[in-house]
A = this chain, B = another copy of it.
């Protein structure tokens, strides 16, 4: 059960490093965190990190991948599942909220992945390929649901790319908004009460925004 898959001695350090790096990168960004910062919080020497990851960028890339996979695993099945488009969208948004709420770093890292691509010079982009692909697939799955909803007449006739962007912004920003968000809410963002309300509110918001209200009955 606890058998390490490979011949390395302490494969647990990798995950501990990834956990710490995820938290720090999420709040301070790639440039804002040093390898020493991470090592210090893990309880290792700085050099030890380089034994597990070939460099800072590779560590960052793996952190992003892990986060995006975590989201994709839960949200994509819902987007691609059964039911009509509005149902699938509602469920997917709820699951995305759950995922973003369970780990406070996720939304920030996702935001960075969406917004901070050109931070890295051309030469290094290849290392982030997997993360970028994960983003593209998630976004694509969302657009597909929206397209189906429009085609079946369940949704208003919206611009698909714009609606995709709007939905993402509406859901994700809140969970990344930190202190400003708490000031707006007047309570912690990640309290179970606030999360439950948030889930209901965004889902309703987006549902109302898209679902055709003056819909004529018939096919």
Contacts and interface: CB of A to CB of B under 8 A. Distances in A.
B173 A173 contact: yes
B168 A201 contact: no
Interface in A95-152: 108, 111, 113-119, 132, 135-136, 139, 143
A163 B117 contact: no
Contact of A172 (B135, B169, B201): B169
Contacts of A143: 184
A115 B108 CA distance: 8
A216 interface: no
Given A31-B31, A172-B169, A164 B139 contact: no
A166 interface: yes
Contacts of A173: 111, 114-115, 165, 168-169, 172-173
Interface string A157-186: 011011111111111111011111101111
12 contacts: A27-B118, A29-B31, A29-B119, A32-B119, A118-B178, A118-B179, A135-B180, A159-B197, A162-B202, A166-B202, A168-B173, A213-B214
Given A28-B31, A159-B197, A164-B184, 7 more contacts: A29-B29, A29-B116, A111-B173, A118-B178, A136-B180, A156-B204, A169-B174
Interface of A: 27-32, 108, 111, 113-119, 132, 135-136, 139, 143, 156, 158-159, 161-174, 176-181, 183-186, 197-198, 201-202, 204-206, 208-210, 213-214
